[in-house]
Structure formats: C-alpha cells, structure tokens
C-alpha cells in the first residue's frame, strides 16, 4: 500500500537535513525588518539610492591604457625598432610613414577590440537575469539588478538566487551551491537559512527576504578571490597555429635575406631596416582583429535572428555542429496543449477529475507552464467549486519525479487537509493504494492514446487516511509546429543530424517522430541505461529517445561526443544545465530557466527549431568569411616573402642592367612596403561584410586544404611578380617582349621598382577575390564594402605609382600603369584557374573521406539497431510465407498486433 509521501521531503535533496546554524554574518537588513507584503515603490527607490544596484562592481577600465597597450607587444615593438633605425639613418619620410603605420594599426586594433567588447557586453545585458519580486503588495517580474535589501522574492525551481536571501516560512527548498562551495550535492534550506547569490534552486518553491545585495553578498565579497579563466577556444588555437606557421616561415626567409645582403656589402642599418619592415609587411598583424571583428559583427546578426551568443567562439562551433539533440516539447511542438478526453476512475466523474486537476495547480495565480495553461482554459466549468477550497502548500513540477503536488482543504473545514497530485500516469498510478489492480488498465489506455500521438495526465488525491486514490486521466495533444518537419529536413540537408529527446511515452515519441519525418527507431530510458559503452553507437543509429530523465541527456551528449560528433543540445530546465554545459553547443530555448541560460552557449528568444537552423546558416557564413581572410592572408605573406627571398638570392639587377649605380639585389623601398601594408590591412577588415554563401555541410578547419590553396595563390602571384621583374630588367634589350609588344625600352631601375610596387599592390587585392571562392571567382559577387575597399586601395596604389612623391622610386606613366594592370588581371585569371583545379583535385580529402565513413557507419548502425529493437520492416510476402523473419521481428510483430487488438477492444467497448 502506497502511503502519502511528500514530493520534496526535508531530507530528500541532500540526504541530510541542515542542522540549525549559528549565523555570524552581518546583513544589510535583518529578516525581522522584512514586510511580507513587500516594499513600496517609493521605499525601494530610496533603498536603491542608498545601497546601489544589485550587481558586482566591475573593475574600472582605464580607457587610455586600453588604447596605449595596442602600441606595445611583439609586432608594435618591431615597428618601433624600424622607426628607430630610420631615425638613426636620418630618413624622416620613412620614419614618419612607419609611425603612421603604427598609429593606424594601434587605433584600428583598439577600435575593433572595443567594438567587439561592447557587442559582447550588449549581448550579456540582454541576458540579464530577472526575478519575481513583491512590490506594493503585488508580484511582478523585474531585472535582478533592481533588487534592494528587504525585498520579498520568490525562489522557484530553475531560478538563480538573485541576491543573498533569507528563507521565510514554507516547505524546504533544495539549492545547488556548487558554484559557491564546491559541494556536488544540493543543500536543503528551510526557514532561517540563507541562499547565496549565484546558487540555483533545483527543487521546491518558497518566498525569501533579500538581506544583502551586490558587493555585500557572499559572492560579492569573495569575487576578488575568484579568477574566471576561460578555456582557450578551438578558434584561438587555429589562429595561433597559423600565426606560428607564418612567423616560422617569415623569420627563416628573412634571416636568409639578411645574411645575403650583409655578405653582398650592404650596411647593417640598411639591411636591418629592410628586413624589419619586410617582417612587418609579411606577418599577419591584423589577423586577430579581422577575425574578432567578423565574429562580433556576426553576433549582432545572430541577435537579430533571435539567437544570442554568450561567447564569440561559440559561432565557430555552431558552424561545425553536425548533431543536434532537440527537446520535443516547445521546440519541435507548439507547447500549446489542447485538452481532449477525460477518463475518470473509481468514484470520480469527468467534472470532479477536472476539479482535482485544478486543485493540483496554483489556481489563484497565473499559469506557470503549458499544462497549467491548458487546465486554466477549461477552469470555467469548475470555477464555483474552486472557491470552496483553499490552497495550503504547493510543490511545482519536478522533472526528476515527473509530478506536482498540492495540499488543500475545504474553505469551511481547515482541519480536513488532503493532497492532490498530477503528472506522468505511470508515476501517479504507482502512488495509488490499488496500483496493482488498475495498472494494466492505465497502461492499456496510455498505450492506446500514445499510438495516436495523444498524451495523458494522471490525477490522484489522498483520502482521510492519507492513502492515494487514482482519480483518472486527462488526455491532451501538443501538435508539432507547422514548420518543424520542413526545418528538420533543412537541417538534414545541411548535414546536421536531429535526435528528438522527450520524457513522453515511447509510443508518443514514435508517433511524433513519424509525423516529423525522423523515422521511428526510438530508444527508451531502459535502453539508455542498459546500453553501457554501446550508447554512442546506439544513439547514432536511433531517431529519438523517450521516457528520458535529465541525467540521461548528459549521458546521450557525452556518448555522441565520444563518437566524434560536434553535438548541440537544447534545454530549458535547471536539470538540463549539466547536459547543456557538456554539449559542444548548449542551446537554451525560449523561456529557459536562469540556470539553463547560464550554462548555454546560445540563448534563443523565440520558439521553435527554425531559429537554430537560422543560427547554423549565419554561423557558417561567418566561418566562410574568416576562412577566406585567412587563406588570403597566408597567400599574401607567402607572395611577399618568397618574392623578395628569391630576388635577393637569384636576381642581380646590376649584372642584368650593366649599371654600377644599380644595387646588386632587388628590394622595394621601406616606404613602398609600408604603404602596401597600410592599404591592405586598413581596408581588408571590410571582408567581415563580404557576401558569402554558407556551406552545405558542417564547417571544419581543414588546415592542410587552406594552406594548400593559399600556397597555390601565393605561388602564382609570386611567379608572376618575378617574371614581371625579369621582363622589366631586360627591357633595355632590343628583342625584349616589352620592347617588341609595347615599344618600351630603357626603363630606369627606379621606374622598375615602381612598376613592381604597383604589381604587388594590385596582385594582393586581386588575390582576395580568388581566395573568397572555391570555384571560379565569378560564381559569387563580392560584398559592396569589400569591392569598394578594393577599388579604393588599388586606385590609391595606382595614383601613388604615377605621382610617386618620395625618393628611391620614380613615378611611371599612365601607359605603364595600364600595362601593369593588364598584366596583373591576366595572371589573376591564371591564378584563379590554378586554384579551381587544385580544389577539385583535393575534393576527396581526408575530411571528406572521414565524413563519408561516418555516414556509412551511421547507416550500418541504423540497420542493426532496427533489427535489434525489432523495428525492421517486414514485407507482405515474408508474412505470407513465414520465411526470412528474425526472432526479433516476429516478437515485435506479435507485440504490435497485441497492442492494436487492445486498442480495438477499447474502441468497441466505447461504442457499445
């Protein structure tokens, strides 16, 4: 016989009741000063002025220091070194242009970093926690930062404790203080205990008085001793790997150049000046700034799509997500329950069943969830009866036990208290004193309705002796969202597998999966628990999970990640927080609890799965922009370095031109290289606004492919620059190509330098348009801002080449500007063709092969899982012959027929 057990016993949460504690802390207000009706608005404003906002004092940022630090570091120091060398040599013009480069780099870096920081701050503000507080005698929701000492707040399941709060009268609550104390088990709190700011309520609901806010809380006083260290993200590792690669190549080649120049008799200062500037021009100074700016801009775009990221690096992970575990209720379905039939048991009637259901809610307040909203819509029928009862206590829905519990008594008989509970039918049935007698009937009804996608809500109440009686069941439906099936299909087209996770009955899960086009291979909670080390393989092959408890979600995510999937997980409750934290991409859906939002990487502010698909689509665009920039940056570095390395080693202008006034090696002036750097780094940030097409499969950093494409682009540009240099150096010969084709002869060395300066500048920006596509450059139009930046940079370079105002180079004619442009465009077409051919040759890379192998493994697992679970389809001919059937198939078929016969019997009985 089942006895009346409270839903949350005082010893239930942690296993040990809290002993009375002697408080030694001093609070801003004593609990005895709290008015249970709450503060008035005027009093609250007065206390707010006195105590300040309920937030931790952030370390004040010194804006001047934030700006100045961008002028100190490895790269700025190199530029300062170059400035010093030019100053010693007395070259004022070069010194000033290097200073200009320093100022531009520092200012742009500071501006973009500030903009990215402001973007994250704005996003975090939009996720600012709210709380339920009583003001002027009424409950209202407000920002937690508005709380003041003496406020009365409600601490409910799933909420973050907004300040240090003294628990008042009521049933104990269970609080997770692991973030504060490191204790893994929740702590039971009763009247007089203090719930600390930053902890989470994991069971129960109670009122509390705010006794300390902001820096006066326990968390606020210890914040100075807490170091928040964010783990280095995958993207940061990628950037660092690329930077190290380019640094290694740069220092190696520049060391060779420096040695050759010194051996050939160049002065140390002259050699140092050229080599330092060459390093400055080749090393990707702006890479971090461009990528951060691109992601910051992307976070704004995601926010417009109702997806708020809590950290920028999450954007890269969304782009690479290839598996999504989605909650059914509210994400795949509308979360708008519609009441269907009533099935009273024993002495109950349809009306009394609805009444008991309403008594199992907080009927004097607004609806707290979708089930209550459904019941409130039908309450008119029992409105007069509800007035005859008074609610004494209420424990809201707890996912770990799958039911609510209310304590009530008749208005005219306070001593005649009884309990009412509503929840999962099997859970409610097990409470009943006659559970063994009614269990089969309950299960038959649940199975019958579940096979049609209809859910059931069990209702029970206690009698005068405290025994539970099963009152009956209410049936209801939660229809799928109109766009869910289409969105799931879109996700699969994007290479993202979707697994449905629900706490509902297996039959309901199968029917919902079938309606959504997911398939009907569903694992139950028993399957999950029995899977052991095979869970990852089974999870890959199934379509969904049913009867799931919060702890199962963590196991599912962990298993999928262990099998190499980049896994996303949606959730909304406090018990979902561990799974959200464990997932590569934790997604808190609309209406999620504070705990779930805090654990998530993305917070959705509109319902449905379509928001996630929009986020994937946009994140892949952002990823493409970053990948395009990195490809371009590597190509430019290699072009510049290898060109000067080869020219210093193998091109001897003095010998070719037979002029002692010409240097023995070729090098561009410091001024020219700095101008190339300023124009390129100053305008390439526009790539963050480029028009890109998101990938059709999850994005992954295939660095070998990125570097191979960059080397191809850089090699063609470098080869064309060397050829251009040779053609110019030999232009004095009568049969030279330039002389025969263009009638050009006797180009001076200073003019040749200017031509090569223009050629390198134009090639650099034309390379952008090759790097941004894997197919031909014309397959996708560039963004207006990027195109405008390219036009501006190349136009300035052309004007400088014609009107060159400094020494060491001579301006060239418009005719030569045109010849150089034509030459660059022709080689750019060759460069783009080489890229296309290389990408096609590398199309079957290891990453692609791994993806194919993964899909084949999943397909094979789905086949074996269907057989194992008895879900393999059986052909009509097989049934007629009785051949070719496995034992599992036969058993499954018999079970299906038995269920259908039971449903038919119930239908016939109803008709009779």
- Average pLDDT (453-481) is 91
Q: How many other β-carbons are positioned within 10 Å of the β-carbon of residue 6?
A: 14
- Average pLDDT (458-479) is 91
Give 736's Cβ-side CA count (13 Å radius): 21
Task: Name, in order, each residue with C-beta under 8 angstroms of 297's C-beta and a sequence gap of 6 or more.
Answer: 119, 622, 688, 689
Which of the residue ranges 449-458, 672-681, 804-813 would you say has the lowest mean pLDDT? 672-681
Residue 92 has pLDDT above 90, yes or no: no
- Average pLDDT (620-625) is 90
In angstroms, how far apart are the furthest CA atoms of the chain? 119
More confident residue, 202 or 19: 202
Residue 407 has pLDDT above 80, yes or no: yes
Residue 262 has pLDDT above 70, yes or no: yes
More confident residue, 308 or 827: 827
How far separated are the first and last CA of the chain, in Å rounded? 34
Residue 234 has pLDDT above 80, yes or no: no
- Average pLDDT (751-775) is 92
- Average pLDDT (347-356) is 92
User: For residue 4, what pLDDT is reported?
Assistant: 41
Instruction: Identify the active-site residue in 94, 164, 327, 447.
Output: 327
Residue 813 has pLDDT above 80, yes or no: yes
- Average pLDDT (612-623) is 89
User: Which candidate, 147, 124, 118, places its Cα nearest to that of 134?
Assistant: 147
522 has which bridge partners?
A: 544
- 746 touches 732 (CB < 8 A): yes
User: For residue 829, what pLDDT is reported?
Assistant: 96
Fold that domain 31-54+147-203+211-223 belongs to in CATH? 2.70.150
pTM of the model: 0.73
Domain boundaries, the chain: 31-54+147-203+211-223, 244-278+626-841, 307-333+481-605, 338-477, 847-911
Q: Out of 3.20.20.450, 3.30.70.260, 3.40.50.1000, 3.30.1300.10, which CATH number does the structure's domain 307-333+481-605 have?
A: 3.40.50.1000
Range picked from 214-218, 249-253, 407-411, 488-492 for highest mean pLDDT: 407-411
CA–CA distance, 576 with 582 (Å, rounded to integer) = 10
Contacts 24+ apart (CB under 8 A), 240-248: 241/703, 242/284, 242/287, 242/630, 242/634, 242/703, 243/283, 243/284, 243/287, 245/634, 245/707, 246/282, 246/283, 246/284, 246/633, 246/634, 246/637, 247/283
CA–CA distance, 186 with 8 (Å, rounded to integer) = 13
CA–CA distance, 442 with 458 (Å, rounded to integer) = 9
Q: Out of 2.60.40.420, 3.30.465.10, 3.40.1110.10, 1.20.210.10, which CATH number does the structure's domain 338-477 have?
A: 3.40.1110.10
DSSP H or E segment with residue 154? strand 152-156
327 in catalytic set: yes
- Average pLDDT (702-722) is 92
More confident residue, 18 or 203: 203
- 726 touches 791 (CB < 8 A): no
> Which of the four pLDDT bands, split at 50, 70 and 90, describes residue 854?
low
> Which of the four pLDDT bands, split at 50, 70 and 90, describes residue 230?
very low
For 17, the token pair is 């009741």
CATH superfamily of 244-278+626-841: Calcium-transporting ATPase, transmembrane domain (1.20.1110.10)
> Which of the four pLDDT bands, split at 50, 70 and 90, describes residue 793?
very high
856-871 pLDDT tens trace: 555 555 555 554 454 4
For 736, the token pair is 């030279």
User: For residue 263, what pLDDT is reported?
Assistant: 83
- DSSP code per residue over 157-224: TTPBP-SEEEE-SSS-EEEE-HHHH--SS-EEE-TT-EEPTT-EEEE-EEEEEEEE-GGGSHHHHHGG
Average per-residue pLDDT for the chain? 80
> Which of the four pLDDT bands, split at 50, 70 and 90, describes residue 7?
very low
**Residue 907 CA from chain centroid, whole number:** 48
CA–CA distance, 212 with 219 (Å, rounded to integer) = 10
Residue 563 has pLDDT above 60, yes or no: yes
């Amino acid at each position: 016989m089942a006895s009346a057990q409270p839903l949350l016993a005082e010893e239930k949460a942690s296993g040990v009741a809290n002993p009375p504690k002697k408080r030694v802390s001093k609070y801003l207000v004593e609990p005895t000063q709290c008015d249970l009706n709450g503060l008035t608005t005027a009093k609250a404003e007065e206390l707010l002025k006195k105590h300040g906002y309920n937030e931790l004092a952030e370390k004040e940022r010194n804006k001047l220091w934030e700006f100045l630090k961008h002028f100190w570091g490895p790269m700025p120091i190199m530029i300062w070194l170059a400035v010093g060398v030019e100053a010693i040599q007395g070259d004022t013009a070069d010194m000033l242009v290097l200073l200009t480069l320093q100022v531009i780099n520092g200012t742009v870096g500071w501006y973009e970093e500030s903009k990215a920081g402001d973007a994250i701050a704005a996003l975090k503000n939009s996720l600012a926690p709210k709380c339920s507080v009583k003001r002027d005698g009424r409950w209202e929701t407000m920002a937690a930062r508005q709380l003041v000492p003496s406020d009365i707040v409600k601490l409910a399941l799933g909420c973050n404790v907004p300040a240090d709060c003294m628990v008042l009268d009521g049933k104990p609550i269970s609080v997770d203080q692991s973030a504060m104390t490191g204790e893994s088990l929740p702590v039971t709190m009763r009247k007089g205990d203090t719930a600390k700011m930053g902890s989470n309520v994991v069971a129960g609901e109670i009122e509390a008085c705010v006794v300390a806010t902001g820096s006066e809380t326990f968390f606020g006083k210890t914040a100075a001793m807490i170091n928040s260290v964010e783990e280095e993200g995958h993207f940061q590792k990628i950037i660092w790997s690329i930077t190290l690669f380019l640094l290694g190549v740069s220092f190696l080649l520049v060391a060779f150049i420096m040695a050759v120049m010194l051996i050939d008799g160049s002065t140390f200062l002259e050699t140092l000046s050229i080599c330092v500037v060459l390093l400055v021009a080749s090393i990707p100074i702006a890479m971090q700034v461009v990528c951060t700016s691109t992601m910051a801009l992307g976070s704004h775009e995601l926010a417009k799509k109702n997806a708020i990221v809590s950290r920028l690096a999450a954007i890269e992970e969304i782009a690479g997500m290839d598996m999504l575990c989605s909650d059914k209720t509210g994400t795949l379905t509308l979360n708008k329950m519609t009441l269907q039939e009533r099935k009273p048991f024993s002495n109950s009637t349809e009306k009394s069943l609805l009444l008991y259901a309403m008594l199992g809610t907080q009927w004097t307040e607004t609806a707290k969830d979708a089930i209550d909203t459904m019941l409130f819509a039908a309450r008119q029928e029992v409105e007069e009866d509800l007035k005859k009862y008074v609610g004494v206590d209420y424990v809201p829905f707890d996912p770990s036990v799958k039911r609510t519990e209310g304590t009530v008594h008749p208005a005219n008989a306070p001593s005649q208290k009884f309990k009412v509970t509503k929840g999962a039918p099997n859970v409610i049935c097990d409470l009943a004193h006659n559970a063994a007698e009614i269990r089969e009937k309950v299960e038959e009804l649940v199975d019958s309705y579940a096979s049609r996608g209809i859910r059931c809500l069990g209702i029970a109440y206690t009698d005068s002796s405290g025994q539970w009686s099963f009152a009956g069941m209410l049936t209801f439906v939660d229809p799928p969202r109109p766009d869910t099936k289409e969105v799931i299909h879109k996700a699969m087209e994007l290479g993202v597998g979707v697994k449905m996770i629900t706490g509902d009955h297996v039959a309901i899960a199968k029917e919902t999966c079938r309606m959504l086009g997911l398939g009907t291979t569903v694992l139950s909670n028993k399957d999950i628990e029995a899977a052991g080390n095979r869970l990852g393989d089974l999870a890959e092959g199934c379509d969904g999970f049913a009867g799931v408890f919060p702890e199962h979600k963590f196991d599912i995510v962990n298993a999928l990640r262990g099998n190499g999937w980049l896994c996303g997980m949606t959730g909304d409750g406090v018990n979902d927080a561990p799974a959200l934290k464990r997932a590569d991409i934790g997604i808190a859906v609309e209406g999620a609890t504070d705990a779930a939002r805090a654990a998530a990487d993305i917070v959705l502010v509109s319902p449905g799965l379509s928001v996630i698909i929009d986020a994937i689509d946009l994140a892949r665009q952002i990823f493409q922009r970053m990948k395009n920039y990195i490809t371009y940056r590597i190509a430019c570095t290699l072009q510049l370095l290898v060109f000067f390395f080869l020219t210093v080693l193998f091109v001897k202008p003095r010998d070719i031109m037979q002029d002692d006034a010409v240097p023995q090696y070729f090098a561009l002036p410091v001024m020219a290289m700095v101008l190339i750097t300023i124009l390129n780094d100053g305008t390439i940030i526009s790539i963050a606004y480029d028009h890109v097409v998101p990938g059709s499969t999850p994005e992954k950093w295939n660095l070998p492919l990125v570097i191979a494409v960059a080397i191809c682009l850089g090699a063609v540009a470098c080869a064309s620059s060397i050829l251009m240099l040779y053609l110019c150096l030999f232009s004095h010969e009568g049969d030279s190509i330039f002389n025969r084709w263009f009638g050009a002869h006797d180009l001076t060395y200073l003019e040749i330098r200017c031509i090569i300066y223009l050629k390198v500048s134009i090639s650099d920006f034309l390379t952008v348009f090759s790097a941004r596509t894997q197919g031909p450059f014309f397959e996708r139009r560039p963004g207006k801002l990027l195109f405008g930046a390219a036009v501006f940079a190349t136009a300035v370079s052309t004007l400088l080449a014609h009107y060159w105002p400094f020494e060491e180079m001579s301006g060239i004619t418009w005719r030569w500007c045109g010849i150089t442009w034509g030459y660059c465009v022709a080689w750019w077409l060759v460069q783009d063709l080489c890229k296309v051919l290389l990408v096609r040759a590398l199309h079957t890379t290891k990453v692609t092969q791994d993806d194919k192998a993964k899909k084949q493994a999943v397909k094979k697992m789905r086949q074996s899982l269907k057989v194992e679970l008895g879900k393999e389809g059986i052909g009509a001919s097989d049934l007629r012959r009785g051949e070719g059937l496995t034992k599992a198939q036969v058993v499954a078929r018999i079970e299906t027929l038995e269920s259908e016969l039971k449903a038919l019997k119930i239908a016939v009985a109803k008709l009779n």
